[in-house]
Amino acid sequence: MKTVYKNNITMDPSGFVLLADFVPHIVQEIRYYSTYNFIGERIDGYEEPCALLTREAARALKVVSNELFVQGYRLKVFDAYRPACAVKQFVLWGIEDRHSGLEHRTPHSGPFRRFSLLVS
C-alpha cells in the first residue's frame, strides 16, 4: 500500500522517504528539477524539488545534521534517489554531446565549489 505525502509524492514499501521529513535543517537544491544543471534542461523523473532517500540513509544524515547544526553548520544536498529515466536521459545526452561537438556545460565554475560528498 502506498502512502501519499506532500504534493502527491508517494512513498512505496521499499522504504524511501522525503529527506526533509527526517532532517528538518537540511538545505535542498535539487538542480535536476530545474534547468540549472550541467545539461541545461529539466531532467526526466524529477517531478518535485525534493530529495528521496532510504529511511536508513535519512536517519544517518539526521545524526550528522544534528551534530553539525549545534556547531552552526547545515548540510546541503543537490541530489538523492535518481529515477532510472533520469539516468537514461544522462546517457543519451552524453552520446549526443559526444557527436555534436558541443562543450560540456556547467552552471558554475570557480571558487564556489568547496566540498561535496556522495552518500550511497
pLDDT at 22: 92
CB of 16 closer than 8 Å to CB of 52: yes
pLDDT at 49: 95
End-to-end CA, the chain: 26
Q: For residue 108, is it within any domain?
A: no
pLDDT at 60: 95
Separation between Cα atoms, residue 54 and residue 11, nearest integer Å: 10
- pLDDT per residue as tens, the chain (120 positions): 444 545 544 555 578 999 999 999 999 999 999 999 988 999 999 999 999 999 999 999 999 999 999 999 999 999 998 999 999 999 999 888 654 544 555 444 443 343 444 454
Q: For residue 43, is it within any domain?
A: yes
Sign of CA dihedral 64, 78, 11, 19: positive
Q: For residue 118, is it within any domain?
A: no
Q: Which long-range contacts (CB under 8 A, 24 or more apart) does 36-41 make?
A: 36/107, 37/107, 38/104, 38/105, 38/106, 38/107, 39/89, 39/90, 39/93, 39/105, 40/105
Q: For residue 110, is it within any domain?
A: no
Q: For residue 27, is it within any domain?
A: yes
Q: For residue 71, is it within any domain?
A: yes
Domain count, the chain: 1
Q: Give the type of residue at 35.
A: T
Rounded to two decimals, the pTM is 0.66
Give residue-wise pLDDT tens across range 67-96.
999 999 999 999 998 999 999 999 999 888
For residue 14, the domain's CATH number is: 3.30.1380.10
Please give the residue range of the domain that contains residue 67: 3-100
Q: For residue 74, is it within any domain?
A: yes
Q: For residue 59, is it within any domain?
A: yes
pLDDT at 94: 87
Separation between Cα atoms, residue 82 and residue 46, nearest integer Å: 8
